[in-house]
Amino acid sequence: MQAIANTGRIASCLLALALQAGALMPAGLQAAEAASQGASGSLPQAPATAVYRRLLVKLKPTATDAPLATRTAQLAISDLSQRLQSGVPGQAPVQLLLHKSISAQLHVVLTDRGLSRSEMLQLIGQLQRDPRVEYAEIDQRLQPQFLPDDPLYGSRQWNLQPPSRGNEGGANLPGAWDVARGEVAPGQGVVVAVIDTGLRPHADLAARLLPGYDFVSDADIANDLDGQWDSDPSDPGDWISIRDSESATFSGCALSTSSWHGTMMAGTIAAVMGNNLGLAGIAPGARLLPVRVFGKCGGYLSDVITGVYWAVGLELPSLPDLMRAPPVNPYPARVINLSMAAEGSCSSAFQEAVDRARGKGAVVIAATGNHNGQATDQGLSQPANCQGVIAVTAHTRRGDLASYANASPSTTLSAPGGGPGLQLLANDGDSITSLGNSGLTSPLADSYEQVRGTSIATAHVSGVAALLLGLQPTLSPDQVRTVLTRSARAYPANSYCTMQAICGAGMLDAEAAVRWLQANPAPVAAPDSGKGGNSESGGGGGAAGWPEWLLLLSAALLSGAGRWRGQPGTGPHQAGRQQPARQSSRM
């Protein structure tokens, strides 16, 4: 074991030196100098001062809500800019520039220079006092929420198995597949939008992919040499070199290899079943809509919102460049998977996006966040704390609350996320197997990955939501929530969640969900009780009605270890039996 650990450390140091020297970075991308936060691993680094330049500004509607012309939007923002006052004596007032428009009233605005957080908040205060402004807020960065792992031995898909002694946390898919196959292919025809880093055309996934779109609008993080909206949602990689991580533009972003985060989420949701290759997805009949909103160091709130609007079939305005407006999505999503998190309470702009998506019949599912080992009763991260969102925390193989997972009385339910639990139960700690890529920077060969986190837990719930909608397409978002919570399985007696009412209705149980729907084909949906909230009580005991002061809002940051990459197995459940082709440690 010591020899293996030493080898891993040596390999890690060699990787760090290669990243520092730029040896693993393609020449074109070296010139682009893109930088970001990867989803795992970190090196000690000197903190850089955060610089803010992006705002979300929503103007109040005018008497005539006609389509907004480019000149009209630019004039409106310019007029706002002229009314600003300098907060620093002797310094010119900040100038505002229209970057893009998400809707007729909601705009992404850039400042003419970088501001500190306090300066940006002061600017927002000025804008909020303008009678023409409905709200203004920082265009935050959001980040994928998973924790890569590097076990010495792979595991089977315990996360999809029926519950049993030692595997109390399995999501119980075999019985659900039996029910679904009796009528249609599991999840047949349901479109699930994976709003993430983009996808790779993995052999175990490609048959399920629909044409998607890339909404990463910042060239610094896009890593695809353009930073423009386009119809290529493929994932070019999101690695961080040492030079990247020291940049003020990417303050707080740690050294890492590429995460392939979106591909991992998509694999759990809908990897092809019965193709004698790799692993099985939860809803293999579903279609996956790749919506790229994350690049290096995550992505901006405005790009995520734009992706949500497009995914559900809403028309986007042709601003500020008429050539950049994408066509209306011809495959509106019924399920929106948001395996991501940002600090703070739900943004007004994000809440509006959730409301509009639900208005189009889409179920919005989000990760509660990975609090990185801080206090257990963490408030939910954004967007899981938005009203109407199904907020998913993570449990372990033994059914314990995962040690990294945010949870609060507003949690809806939990799903398999892997890793160790808070109670440190015996024989616990296995990770989740999903799809990936062997490239440390740019994409190379298909691979299978071991991961853990609330991101992958969210993907499990999105897959089961697709199963339910495949069986009964007329279900509303609130009805899907009702089925999931009423059918949730009780937490094991020796788990953390039996002692603390912060874990939602219980553990995801796919077979119980489809059978509950069969017995209740017209479920009565209770109204959402609050932000992110759990308004139903299931097997684990809901927490609705707990006092608001228990909700502690916090950052949901990534932490890291390594991950192993295996080669394709010989059957639908063989991936977990593969020895890793090699190990790479995230430093």
Residue (of 525, 528, 504, 142) closest to 350 by Cα position: 142
Say if 70 falls within a structural domain: no
Instruction: Give the mean pLDDT of 218-236.
Output: 90
Q: Looking up tokens 């938005």, which residue turns up?
A: 386
Q: What is the pLDDT of residues 320-359, one digit of tens each?
A: 665 478 899 999 999 999 999 988 899 999 999 999 999 9
Least confident window among 66-80, 320-334, 389-403, 563-577: 563-577
Say if 35 falls within a structural domain: no
Say if 286 falls within a structural domain: yes
Helix (H, G, I), strand (E, B) or coil at 515: helix
Position 247 scores a pLDDT of 84
Q: What is the pLDDT of residues 435-478, one digit of tens each?
A: 999 999 999 999 998 899 999 999 999 999 999 999 999 999 99
407 or 24: which carries more pLDDT confidence? 407
Contact (Cβ atoms closer than 8 angstroms) between residue 56 and residue 134: no
| CATH classification of the domain holding 482 | 3.40.50.200
Contact (Cβ atoms closer than 8 angstroms) between residue 506 and residue 491: yes
Least confident window among 95-99, 276-280, 387-391: 276-280
Which residue in the list 202, 261, 371, 460 is annotated as catalytic? 261
pLDDT-based confidence at residue 546 (cuts at 50, 70, 90):
very low
Position 82 scores a pLDDT of 87
Report the alpha-carbon distance of residue 522 to residue 476 in Å, rounded. Answer: 10
Give the single-character DSSP code of 482.
Answer: H
| Number of alpha carbons in the 13 Å side-chain half-sphere of residue 308 | 31
Position 237 scores a pLDDT of 95
Say if 231 falls within a structural domain: yes
Domain containing 402 equals: 143-147+156-577
Position 23 scores a pLDDT of 34
Number of H helices, E strands in the chain: 13, 19
Residue (of 333, 261, 315) closest to 293 by Cα position: 261
Residue 29, pLDDT above cutoff 60: no
Residue 267, pLDDT above cutoff 80: yes
Residue (of 441, 565, 580, 557) closest to 40 by Cα position: 557
pLDDT-based confidence at residue 225 (cuts at 50, 70, 90):
confident
Report the alpha-carbon distance of residue 188 to residue 201 in Å, rounded. Answer: 20
Q: What is the pLDDT of residues 232-263, one digit of tens each?
A: 999 999 999 888 888 877 778 888 899 999 99
Mean pLDDT of the chain: 78
Say if 111 falls within a structural domain: no
465 or 24: which carries more pLDDT confidence? 465
Does residue 572 have a cis bond before it (omega within 30 degrees)?
no
Q: What are the angstrom distances between the C-alpha of 63 and each of 60, 66, 395?
A: 10, 9, 50
What tokens does 43 get?
Answer: 């090196």
Contact (Cβ atoms closer than 8 angstroms) between residue 581 and residue 540: no
Q: Looking up tokens 């060239």, which residue turns up?
A: 219
Say if 19 falls within a structural domain: no
Contact (Cβ atoms closer than 8 angstroms) between residue 452 and residue 459: no
Total number of domains in the chain? 1
Say if 403 falls within a structural domain: yes
pLDDT-based confidence at residue 538 (cuts at 50, 70, 90):
very low
pLDDT-based confidence at residue 39 (cuts at 50, 70, 90):
very low
Position 106 scores a pLDDT of 93
pLDDT-based confidence at residue 17 (cuts at 50, 70, 90):
very low
pLDDT-based confidence at residue 545 (cuts at 50, 70, 90):
very low
Position 70 scores a pLDDT of 57
Q: What is the 3-state secondary structure (H, E, C) of 302-346?
A: HHHHHHHHHHCCCCCCCCCCHHHCCCCCCCCCCEEEECEEECCCC
Instruction: Give the mean pLDDT of 366-384.
Output: 76
Least confident window among 164-168, 231-235, 418-422: 164-168
Q: Give, for 514, the enclosing helix (H) or strand (E).
A: helix 510-519
Contact (Cβ atoms closer than 8 angstroms) between residue 564 and residue 437: no
Residue 72, pLDDT above cutoff 50: yes
Q: What is the 3-state secondary structure (H, E, C) of 415-460?
A: EECCCCECCCCCCCCCCEEEEEECCCCCCCCEEEEEEECHHHHHHH
Q: Give, for 287, the enclosing helix (H) or strand (E).
A: strand 287-292
20 or 335: which carries more pLDDT confidence? 335
pLDDT-based confidence at residue 505 (cuts at 50, 70, 90):
very high
79 or 506: which carries more pLDDT confidence? 506
pLDDT-based confidence at residue 162 (cuts at 50, 70, 90):
confident
Residue 295, pLDDT above cutoff 80: yes
Residue (of 240, 202, 224, 236) closest to 445 by Cα position: 202
Position 149 scores a pLDDT of 38
265 or 144: which carries more pLDDT confidence? 265
Residue (of 167, 147, 234) closest to 197 by Cα position: 234
Highest mean pLDDT among 237-251, 288-302, 415-429: 288-302
Which residue in the list 149, 196, 446, 478 is annotated as catalytic? 196
- Let me know if 455 is a catalytic residue: yes
Give the single-character DSSP code of 400.
Answer: P
Residue 373, pLDDT above cutoff 60: no
Least confident window among 237-246, 348-357, 377-386, 527-536: 527-536
Q: What is the pLDDT of residues 178-195, one digit of tens each?
A: 887 665 678 899 999 999
Say if 68 falls within a structural domain: no
Which residue in the list 455, 495, 554, 559 is annotated as catalytic? 455
pLDDT-based confidence at residue 49 (cuts at 50, 70, 90):
low
Backbone angles phi, psi at 58, to 5 degrees: -110, 125
Percent of the chain with pLDDT strictly greater than 70? 74
Position 322 scores a pLDDT of 52
Backbone angles phi, psi at 180, to 5 degrees: -65, -40
Instruction: Give the mean pLDDT of 279-306.
Output: 94
